[in-house]
Amino acid sequence: MKNNLNRRTFLKSATTGALGLGAMSSAFSFNILSQYPLKDKYRVAVIGVNSRGAQHVQAFAKIPNVEIAYICDVDSRAREKGIELAKSSGAQTLPVGLVDFRKALEDKTLDAVSIAMPDFWHTPAAILAMQAGKHVYLEKPGSHNAAESELLVEATRRYGKIVQMGNQRRSWPRVQEAMQELHGGTIGRVYYARAWYTNTRASIGKGNLASVPEWLDYELWQGPAPRQDFVDNLIHYNWHWKWHWGTGEIVNNGVHFLDLARWGLQENYPVRAYSSGGRYQYQDDWETPDTQIASFDFADGKSILWEGRSCNARDINAMGSGVSFHGENGTLELLNNSYKIFDNKNQLLKSAEPTSNTVVNQAGAGFDMDIAHFTNFINAIDKGESLISPYPEIQKSVLLCHLGNISYRTGRALEIDGDTGRVLKDKAAMKLWGREYEKGWEPKV
């Protein structure tokens, strides 16, 4: 305790000295000094562990100053597996299993939550957590719609909590190096980025009304979404392709690559967005496009093109998913944790190989590639370390994805306010900006 007090005293004195607040990101520095350092162990609740949440459990179990206090899931099978995974991953204490994550928020000794719930839960759950005084690690995309993305930015600033989004590629060493190359002028002025994601997803078929399985709390699973009857092809993954629950491939996976594209171009909001495509491969309950093109133009003469193919995994530039940047003097191709630089004569100038032997596929990299992102989140709470992906910044990338979907659903190009990202003079488009909620579940800041 004495050591903690000395460190706290040092940091307070440093704010008026050489370190100053300039050493921290202005997006979240407002809350750090008053809480630094909080304790030797940070207690975290992982919410939603059926899929991506399993990597959350594995990562937090490996961080020495973290205790996984709760595993929360509406699926009793996933909850039990999550507890066992925490144990097998090295957790020193066994987490408590909860159906309703709101019970964990009542624990005043809980410091943070890690949210890997379905998209329609992201913003409501994150806001509830911040209102309960918790920091938030939030899986992408962080919101089901554009209005929620704005609301989450407002909540982050109002409640003064650290919110890290799980677009973990920003923490990968070669990605950071590639951005330094781009911003340092290695291919001159960069004016165009092409981002893509491909997969070979099977048909989800036609769902039938069915009884809710005994292992599932379907009422709580629906949470903020208006109620619909249970069908047998919805849970746990196919909700992604239904507008009522999900956001389609462009938000599901496109957010990773559109974020890198925007970061590389050093842009904020576009001034024009257009998207087209359709559900072409199968005739089933899938509502969002399985094939989608989206383009975004920026005011200073730059543009981004997104191509998503959920049911045809033919590579682009020998990459199933990736980003390429094109400038005056050449091209940089970014593949996961490696990159290549070519001149305008198509000659290879540099090839930076992966820094890890981990195989990255369409299911992701796993916790061993991503643990730096989780560690950065804890270090931001504990040490005032600058966040890699503070939500108010990453929201600009999320909004690109939502704008692509709005354009697709309206069937026309959107004119955008380059200062706010909002659609201009299009009432039909703005009707898709937000959504309706189950009564009593409306997220409020």
- Secondary structure class of 304 (helix, strand, coil): strand
Query: Same structural domain for residues 187 and 326?
Result: yes
Query: Same structural domain for residues 193 and 336?
Result: yes
Residue 442 covered by a domain: no
Query: Same structural domain for residues 262 and 301?
Result: yes
pLDDT digits (tens, 9 = 90+) for 191-221: 999 999 999 999 999 999 999 999 999 999 9
Say how many domains are in the chain: 2
Type and span of the H or E element at 331: strand 330-335
Query: Same structural domain for residues 123 and 254?
Result: no
pLDDT of residue 266: 98
pLDDT digits (tens, 9 = 90+) for 154-172: 999 999 999 999 999 999 9
The CATH number that applies at residue 289 is 3.30.360.10
pLDDT greater than 80 at residue 10: no
Residue 367 covered by a domain: no
Query: Same structural domain for residues 381 and 275?
Result: no
Angle at 417 between CA 244 and CA 143, to 5 degrees: 30
The predicted model gives 328-351 an average pLDDT of 96
| Cα 404 from Cα 272, distance rounded (Å) | 10
pLDDT greater than 90 at residue 20: no
Query: Same structural domain for residues 202 and 121?
Result: no
Q: For residue 17, give the nearest of 6, 9, 25, 26 by alpha carbon.
A: 9
| Cα 323 from Cα 420, distance rounded (Å) | 25
- Main-chain phi, psi angles of 220, to 5 degrees: -75, -35
pLDDT of residue 72: 98
| Cα 350 from Cα 184, distance rounded (Å) | 15
Residue 444 covered by a domain: no
Query: Same structural domain for residues 88 and 147?
Result: yes
Residue 364: pLDDT band (50, 70, 90) is low
338-343 and 330-335 as β-strands: parallel, antiparallel, unpaired?
A: antiparallel
As a whole-number percent, the residues of the chain with pLDDT over 90 amount to 85
Average pLDDT score over the chain? 91
Look up the pTM and report it. Answer: 0.90
Start-to-end C-alpha separation, the chain: 35
Residue 361: pLDDT band (50, 70, 90) is low
Query: Same structural domain for residues 155 and 184?
Result: no
pLDDT greater than 80 at residue 399: yes
Residue 152: pLDDT band (50, 70, 90) is very high
pLDDT of residue 362: 55
Residue 368 covered by a domain: no
pLDDT digits (tens, 9 = 90+) for 408-431: 999 999 999 999 999 999 999 999
Alpha helices (H) along 132-211 = 146-159, 173-183
Residue 340 covered by a domain: yes
Query: Same structural domain for residues 419 and 384?
Result: no
Helix axis angle, 391-410 to 146-159, nearest 10°: 160
The predicted model gives 120-130 an average pLDDT of 98
pLDDT of residue 236: 93
The predicted model gives 374-378 an average pLDDT of 97
Q: Tokens 């530039």 correspond to what residue?
A: 317
Any residues with CB less than 8 A from the CB of 343 and at least 6 apart, and which?
329, 330, 349
The CATH number that applies at residue 137 is 3.40.50.720
- Secondary structure class of 26 (helix, strand, coil): coil
pLDDT of residue 38: 53
Residue 134 covered by a domain: yes
pLDDT of residue 7: 41
Residue type, 105: L
The predicted model gives 32-47 an average pLDDT of 73
Residue 51: pLDDT band (50, 70, 90) is confident
Residue 355: pLDDT band (50, 70, 90) is confident
- 181: tokens are 């190359």
Q: Tokens 């503070």 correspond to what residue?
A: 390
Query: 286 is in which domain, residue-wise?
Result: 171-206+219-362+392-431
